Amino acid sequence: MADITPKTIAVVILNWNGKALLEQFLPSVVAHSEKAHLYLADNASTDDSVEFVQANYPQITVIQNQGNYGFAKGYNEALQQVSEPIYALVNSDIEVTAGWLDPFIDHFATHPNTAIAQPKLMDFKNKSYFEYAGAAGGFIDQYGFPYCRGRVFDTLEEDHGQYNTPARIFWATGACFFIRKEVYWELGGLDGDFFAHQEEIDLCWRNFNAGYDCYYLPEATVYHVGGATLKTGTPRKTFLNFRNSLLMLLKNLPHGKRFSIIFIRLCLDGIAGVQFLFKGNLRHTLAILKAHFSFYGQIAPTMSKRSTSQRKDYFTVKSIVWNYFVRKQKHFER
């Protein structure tokens, strides 16, 4: 692995028509990222966000993609032009704090098997609470349902220092995602077929299968708005989450278990669809049906993406759904 020293981290912010977010959040990133090279990766915005950055932040290198490629392909395209050995993929709705890069510089330099890491992710709107997208580091259950230290489904914990120790985790949040450049490309980058949602978990699962570590570093704290680019609760988001979860399972589950687990996951999705229907959310029920049919159409190409090695110890909780809804365990337990 390459030696990690100051100025070898690339902070890359993906943007699509996000001038208002850039106006609000770039000042903190610029003020506290003197040890990094800053990039704006723009997904063919039609507002004047690129012009705003070029006029006000000449120290930021702008990379202009040719289309709106979403989160996954958007980063894949832009990162081909980034040479620093550590990528920090940072959402445009992130407020960073003083010294936020230092723990990553130190950790990557002293832990050669760590390929991915994330900071403590707090809620920008309620700063004493963890934020949904990644909190204090992520895990998945046997059926691919994600949860976090500090967040299980919609239950968020207040930060009382309970997760103030660095820890090995299964997945890191795409809202503020650090990864070694050479591992990113060794693993094939983010899966562009996902477009957005779950793509970072898929990449972390491939990282896990390849034998690399993923870490949560609480010494670094950032604040995330969440849902600023694709609003929470939209049918589009429901479609992407359900479809991409199935694709991720098919790609990464160990041989011999994938079809039985996917069948159970499909049944659980069906129950979720019925619940949406009873609540009067027909559009979300239809989004789940659409997600399943989209998944069926992508089975063959997704099977071709499976690596030669899949580990069986990817989960420590068999069913977070059972624990949360039946056993009423609302907080993280391992």
pLDDT of 159 reads: 98
- What is the DSSP code string of 25-84? HHHHHHHT-TTEEEEEEE---SSSHHHHHHHH-TTSEEEE-SS--HHHHHHHHHHTT---
Cα 53 to the center of its chain, rounded Å: 25
pLDDT of 6 reads: 52
- 8-state DSSP, 171: B
Q: What is the pLDDT of residues 276-286, one digit of tens each?
A: 999 999 999 99
- Break the chain into its structural domains and give their ranges: 9-224, 235-307
Q: Which CATH number is correct for 9-224, 3.90.550.10, 3.30.420.40, 3.20.20.70, 3.40.190.10?
A: 3.90.550.10
Percent of the residues in the chain that have a pLDDT greater than 70, as a whole number: 96
pTM: 0.95
pLDDT of 231 reads: 55
Rounded average pLDDT over 194-210:
97
The span from the CA of 49 to the CA of 58, in Å, is: 13
Rounded average pLDDT over 196-221:
97
Q: What is the pLDDT of residues 163-198, one digit of tens each?
A: 999 999 999 999 999 999 999 999 999 999 999 999
| Collapsed DSSP state (helix, strand, coil) of residue 202 | helix
pLDDT of 257 reads: 86
The span from the CA of 71 to the CA of 69, in Å, is: 7
pLDDT at 5 over 90: no
Name the pLDDT band for 308 (thresholds 50, 70, 90).
Answer: confident
